[in-house]
Structure 1
Amino acid sequence: MSEIKAILEELAEVSGNPRKQMEKYLSAGKKVVGCFPVYTPEELVHAGGMIPMGLWGGQITPSVAGKYNPIFTCSIMRSCMEYGMTGVYEGLTCAVMPMLCDTFRGMSAAWRSGVKDIPLVSFIHPQNRTDSDAFSFLVEEYRAAAKKLEEVTGCTITEESLAQSIEVYNEHSATMMAFAKAANDHLDVITPVARHAVFKSALFMEKGEHTEKVKELLSALEGLPKYEHKGKKVILTGITAEPDEFLELFTECGIAVVGDDLAQESRLYRTAIPKRGTALEDLAGQWFERKGCSMVHEVESTRGSMLVEMAQAAGAQGIVVCLMRFCDVEEYDYPMIAQCAKEAGLRCLCLEIDQSTQNNEQSHTKIQSFAEMAE
């Protein structure tokens, strides 16, 4: 048990202090590249011998970002802009940004104007994935991004190094999904906050390093007896479920998190990189196999039914939508999720996530009511 506690504390330290982790890599002579959410191809950065570092903002009330990002901008982008403009991201060689929604399109121009000391590499994921030219388009977008990375950082990205990085990332994804499954047998130890720390720490660590740490955790968990949670269980869905104080509300109300469809957590790992041809083609192929995500267009959305299946398989009584404030694509999906949950006899709870506020009292009241009403 002491080993499990030590690993969880180590990963919580990384997830809570990404700047400290970045300094560690910089002092070791590594170049660090910032990776905006959600589907930045980190493998390209990794293949260049650099460290991909997730840029997911943080709990802050912006003071200067408003010059470029209005108040109705997604709070992740506002906090990222704030950190970029105030020097929190100082040390990054460059940043990579996918154009996944309208906010990103405006953010790319804002970043280039407001954060001139961190060059931006941007690219576009094709949303019409049924178009015959969509795949070749994305391959060329990745090729251009790789070339830009080489120009800005001085690194070299080869077919061999990219293939090796894809292997590292596929192994990491499999390990994270194994953890998500194993966590449900030890809900007394893997609390919502602990679970989140394991996932979030991956955003700030070299993936091979993180894989080994999570494997150590899995091995240690295997030595514990299974724990039967007597309270309510839920599935989380959304972009993020933060801060820790928000997740602690579930524990206070006797509710366990038994699965997630969070863009910051399992959604990143549930789709392996397939074999399509060259390493770039393999990497591009992953985009065409993703589903059940608000950032990925589907002719017929599968997210609602997917969440219902997840909840039923895990014995959950409800689905909690962690709705990022001012995130249009997530707002579009909510009615469909709620309808699917209702038809399946599951409760659906919507909680607003906003990185610019520290007040969780409204969420606390809703979670308390959910715990009392869910059967």
Structure 2
Amino acid sequence: MYSINNLLDIFTDVANNPKKQLNKYLSENKKAIGCFPYYVPEELVQATGMVPFGIWGCRGTINAAKEYFASFYCTIAQMSLEMGLKGTLDGLSGVIATSLCDTLRPFTQNFRVAVPQLPFMFLAHPQNRREEYGIKYTISQYTNIKAKLEEISGVEITDERLKEAIDIYNKSRSERRRFVKLAGKHPEAITAVQRSAVLKSAHFMLKEEHTILLKELNDQLESFPVSNWKGVKVVTSGIVADNPRLLEIFQEHNIAIAADDVAHESRGFRIDVPYDEDPMRALALHFANQDMDVLLYDPEINKRPSHIVNMVKESNAEGVIILMMQFCDPEEIEFPSLKKGLEEANIPYIMIGVDQQMTDFGQARTSLQAFADLLAMRS
């Protein structure tokens, strides 16, 4: 049995050293498949015995990728291509990329051309995902990916293997949801940086391995007495919120994350794959059931503002920090309605622009300090 500090050190090491973790799996004669955002059916990779390995860009400077993208493209796409061009992704046996936004579409084609040494699997999700025709289309797309993964791995993805993979992932999702709630209740034990590391490490570990360690951490947190937190609590929203230097500013001003609406974090494990006798259909239904994401078509009036308002209330948070990815059109288009919803609910919020090349946090520090003071005065 590990101590909490030992467990957090393990998660932090994996989160900060994904290449080291990849090399560990390669040394065990495992193959790994890179999974770009969003909503890649990683269970198909798991069912082959290969390792699903998350790729959400990285912190650094964009150089080679500038030849393929205009400067106003989201840095997640640019840094992900940069990783391929620089050889950071060497060792993977292939990659899967989706096309749910106007940046991911050209990214997929640029990556295919610029990094020809990596077998490329293109996944086109339908926006009309809930109707039966949408479900059938999703199944057809997943079937194409399934065939390519079988070719790369030499392993047939049987229904039994896929059902087992779905079970492993559902257990992981459940334990991560449990962690998010416990971390929100015990900010004295789990800092913003540590919370991020625990969730980020799941993208680089086999889920069964991550779940064992996370359950141990959760069980220990569960036994803690009620927290006497003296700071403030917020809900975070955005695509990624994994920059330690930014999160350290949260800690400096006693800002705890009570819950999140972050794509890289809770949005990815908000719901489980439902049971269906046909596991391929179950995976398609899982995508069909996804909701409350700026990249997903919503035929109804935008429900996300009320969704985030409810998150604030349910988590006993006092405000919202929106980490706006620079040049993300869907998030920028949504912001006015989100702003209106929070103001109507009398919930304080702050918007901070972020990208993966960010090195100067002076302005963010000033803004977060002022926001923390405001929340403290209101509480």
| TM above 0.5 | yes
How many pairs were matched up?
375
d(CA) in 1 for partners of 2:132 and 2:227?
Answer: 49
Whether the 8 Å CA contact 1:242–1:353 is kept in 2: the answer is: no
SS at match of 1:210: helix
1:51, distance to aligned residue in structure 2 (A) = 0.2
Please name the residue that 2:231 is paired with.
231
SS at match of 1:184: helix
Give the 4+ runs in structure 1 shifted more than 6 A.
none
Report deviation, 1:157. 1.3
Structure 1 position 228, deviation (Å): 2.1
CA contact 2:186–2:227 (8 Å) conserved in 1: yes
Is 1:346 paired with 2:347?
A: yes
Paired with 1:332 and 1:140, the residues of 2 have a C-alpha distance of: 31
Residue equivalent to 1:319: 320
Cα distance in structure 2, aligned partners of 1:77 and 1:112: 13
Q: CA RMSD in A?
A: 1.4
- Residue 151 of structure 1, CA deviation: 2.3
**Residue deviations 1:203-256 (CA, integer Å, cap 9, x gap):** 000001100010010112233222121221100011011310101111111211
Contact 1:98-1:125 at 8 Å conserved across structures: yes
Structure 2 distance, partners of 1:124, 1:41, is 12
Distance in 2 (CA, whole Å) between partners of 1:312 and 1:155 is: 47
Indicate the percent of aligned positions where both proteins have the same amino acid. 37
CA 1:10–1:147 in structure 2 vs 1: closer, same or farther (change >3 Å)? same
Equivalent pair of 1:59/1:358 in contact (CA under 8 Å): no
The residue identity in structure 2 corresponding to 1:301 is N
Cα deviation, residue 320, structure 1: 1.0
Shift of 1:56: 1.0
Residue of structure 1 in register with 2:298 after alignment? 298
Q: Note the residue ranges of structure 2 that are not aligned, 5 or more in a row.
A: none
> Structure 1 CA distance, aligned partners of 2:6 and 2:275?
37
DSSP-derived class of the 2:233 partner: strand
Task: Report how far residue 303 of structure 1 moved.
Answer: 1.4
Please state how far the C-alpha of 1:130 moved relative to its aligned partner: 4.8
String of CA shifts for 1:39-89, please: whole Å, max 9, x gaps: 111000000110000001111111101111221111011111111001111
CA–CA distance in structure 2, aligned partners of residues 364 and 222 of structure 1: 32
* 2:139 is equivalent to residue 136 of structure 1: no
What secondary structure does 1:9 align onto? helix
Q: Does 1:75 align with 2:72?
A: no
Secondary structure in structure 2 of the residue aligned to 1:258: strand
* Partner-residue secondary structure (3-state), 1:101: coil
Structure 1, gaps ≥5 residues long: none
- Whichever residue aligns with residue 101 of structure 1, its letter is C
- Residues 312-351 of structure 1 show CA distances to partners (whole Å, capped at 9, x for unaligned) of 1122111111111111111122111111111111012111
**Alignment partners' CA distance in 1, 2:147 and 2:205:** 24
User: Is 1:211 the counterpart of 2:211 in the alignment?
Assistant: yes
User: TM-score under structure 2 normalisation?
Assistant: 0.96
TM-score normalised per structure 1: 0.97
